[in-house]
Structure formats: C-alpha cells, structure tokens
Structure 1
Amino acid sequence: MVTTFHEAGYREYGKKCLNTFLEKWPEDVELIVYAEDVDVEETAPNLTVLDHTAVLPKLIEFRNRFGSHPFANGFSPLGDGKFDFLWDAIRFTNKVFAVTDAIRRTKGVADQLIWLDADTITHSPVPSSFLDKLAPRETQLATYLNRKNYPECGWVGYNLNHEFIDEFARRFDEIYLSGEFLEIQESHDSYIFWKIVQDMEREGLATFYFIGDSTTVGHVFINSELGAYLDHLKGPRKAMGQSQARDLKVKRKESWWKNTGS
C-alpha cells in the first residue's frame, strides 16, 4: 500500500491512518509512506517511510516548471478568478508522482499496489481474502471506485503484473510534466486518471475492475465494499472524525457505523 502526507496532514489525519493500518491490516502488507517535510513517529517492520523531496525528482521538476502557474495552483482557467481544487495540480501531483514511483519500486516484488488516501481510517480488521478479491487480474490494469462522473481515487489497486503498467505510469507522469494537463478540462489526479483509463480502454491496452457505483456522484467509497473496513474522511469529515449517516446510501452492519451523526 502507498500513501503520502505533509506535516499538517500527518497531525490531522495521517497518524490515524497509519495506526489503524498497523493495527488492522495483515502484517504481510507493506505500507510505503512518501512523507513531505515530516518526521513520522510510527515504526513497524511493514512500514517504510520515504522523504518525498529526496526520492521524487519528477515532482520537484514539475514544481519548478509550473509552481508559479496560476492554472496549476487552483485558479480557474474559466477567467472568474476563483480558486477551485479542480485545477490545483500542484497539490495533487504529490499523489501522482508517489504512485508512479511506487509502481516502479514494487513491480516484480508484489502483485498488487494499493493507493489509499491518508485521510482514511481502518475501522475493522481487513482480511487477506478481501484484498485478494479486489485485486485486478489478467487484462485488468487497476481496480477503482467508478462514479457517474470521474472516479473517486481514494482507493486504487494497481496490477503490477500487467504488461502496460509501466505505460500507465509513464502517461500519468507525462501529462503533468509536459504541461498537457493545462489543456484538459480538469487537472486534479482523479480526472487525469480517468482520461488515461478511457484512452487505454479505447486503445485496447487494458480493462479495469469497478467497485463503485456508476449511478452516483456522492461519497461512493464508504458505500462500496470498502465501507465494511474503511472510512474515508473527505473534506469536513476530517474534523468530525467519521463520515456521517447522511453519507450512507447502503445499510452498513459494522459497529463503526452505528454511532454516525446526521
């Protein structure tokens, strides 16, 4: 598994992500953390912490090239002068370059690499059989949470044995490094991921395993199979410490969900 966070994120939610991972995931699953300017206090045999400034040269190259570009920093190219995360590529490329680096590091060592957003809590023990069930196989390059619009990329499982996994990583890097992201409708990682998925499907290079809901645009993560073990604290849910009852569109039987607020 791989994730990333900065100092403030580590204090606000990253520690909970790490501690619940270490407590409730199988011990043979390794977690790789790309830490930005933060000393991670947790230690474990299956926890590897990397200094993202030292190990992600493509991220540094991207920041040097586009760090002052307004349309890479959340300012809308629509000309209204408003900030919107849809165009905050500088923020989201921390994730992109961590994913592509982790793909290259773990290919040949593991069969599956799971990206998990660091604002995710594991509330119930995760069985190995569950991870095996969700693992993409054969022509499936990745497992992801599909929605009515672009995917929810809080969880993405990558098939490290896929013949075009390196090509996927190359495209993810290059869309940002080349500046192509400035010509795409939205530039956050989920939208760019979706573009690559669509292109690779159309070209016949890969298929994908969907675990979301093509009829919704809401909080699809906790309403999928993942909700039985995980809670994704998107946006204001971080301060609340839990997703809310109104977020649930399916009935959940796990004890974690019995005390959700309205």
Structure 2
Amino acid sequence: MTLLRLSGELSGIGGELVGEFFAADGASLSGLVCGGVGEEGVSGGFPAGSGVGEIADDERRFVVKVGLTVECVCGVFVAGVLGAAVADAGGAQGGEGGVDEVRANTDAILIGATTMRRDNPRLLVNSEARRAQRVSRGLPAYPLKVTITGSGDLSRDLKFWHHGGEKVVYCPDTAATKVRETLDDLADVVSTGPTVDLGVMLDDLGERGIRHLMVEGGGTIHTQFLTQGLADEIHLAVAPIFVGDSAAPRFVNAGQFPGGSAHRMKVAEVRSIGDVVLIRYLPKAASGGSTS
C-alpha cells in the first residue's frame, strides 16, 4: 500500500469527511487506498483513526470515515499496579484532577465488565462546573458509558447503570439475550458477532456520533486495545504510593504489542496534579530515543 502526502480541505457530511485532495508529488491517485489516517505520510487535518476509501483520477475526491480518537487512561501507583477505584473516590485520578478533566472532554467512557464487578465504579464527571460546561456546548452532562462483556455476567445492581447518562453494552451473540433480559431498559445492548469484536464496537460508536473514546480499563481491556493498535493516546497518572500486593492488577497483561520492546512511545505531555504526575504518551509515534 502506498501512502501519499495529500492536501485539501475537509467538511463534515454525516458520518463521513469529504474533501478534494491532490497528490503533492503529482503521482497518479487511481486506486489509491489510504489506511491509517493521521499516520506519518498523510496530512490534511484528518482526525486520528483509520481511514478507508479510494481516490479515482476522474473524481479527484477522497471519502474517509470519521476516525475515533481512543485514549487508554489509568492511574498507577509507583510499583506499577492499577489504582482503578480512586477516580470515583476523588483520589489520585479523580475529583478536580486529571481523569475527571479527560472524562469531561470525551464523548464516551469504556470500562470492562471484570473491573465493573470488582470495583463497582459509577464513572461520572464529578465536577459540577465541568458538567455545566458540557451542557453549554450542547452536549449531555455526562459522556456515554460503555462496557464490554464476553460472558454476559452483569448484575443490574451495579452503580454503573444507575448514575450518569446513557449506557451501551457490547457482547458476543451468545450473551446478547442474557444481557438484555438482565438489564431490560437500563442500557442498549449490541451484539458484535461470535466474539467481542472491538472493530465492530468502534464502528457502532462512530455511527452514534462518538469521536473521542476514553478507555479506563482494566488491564485486559487496555491490553486488547494496545496489542491491536487501536489506542491513539495513553494517559498515565502515577501516584506516589507503593503497593506490595503481587496479586494487584497491572496496567497491561502479557501480549504482543506493536513494535515490541524496541518501540519507544513519544511523550506528548508531562504535568503534575497535586502529588500525582500525569504522563501523556502517543503509542503510535516513536520517540526517536534508543532502547539501549
């Protein structure tokens, strides 16, 4: 596949961006397929995410699906274990801190069913001022809340269902009936085929108008997004606490990550929030540093 540097203007049309584009080097555009909008070699103000489409010489026109920006967000203690529950408690990640700010500026928040059962979070924008700002921009006070489950084992008593705004559950076909019977009208339920298919989920979220998805974990979910190359940013909040529990959950599990241990992610931002350090990484970009 050839990636050409394109130039042009984009305008939103429903769920697509349509624009006139021309190859900067004068190469033929016939049959060109662009995959990886926002990657090196493609310009023109595209959103992050994957673009699909073809450019024909006679049309000189390119249609690209609007890409979702996916952020994996978590809080870790110095030892590298997850501090998942502190966000709702207003601790290292929450309250007026970094995660609440990111939640307020996202369209949807995703958390895995295992983390829901273990931590029972509400997943809210805790700041009243931030909720008011969302409403003033024509947005709902709370982002869409999303979860995925393979087994369909979800209690309707979890706090997730009874706080905040709209909710949606993604599950394999085999679990869909069970989830719908359990939750009834508490959430929209979408089956994704024989397995939990993240690509199908992201396509459905895009059709719902979601352009910015915040993935809060847990470790299995982070691992799936990162190993499949679906995360555009990683927000890591490091709290100055040692945790000596060997069974404590980690940010990611074992997996084959793009580039392996030779890939050094680009650091986009480092800032302090009280005694917590927030680091923002771009996993699809290289830092240019050495691994040795």
TMscore range, shorter length:
under 0.3
TM-score (norm 2): 0.24
- Answer 1 or 2: which has greater helix percent: 1
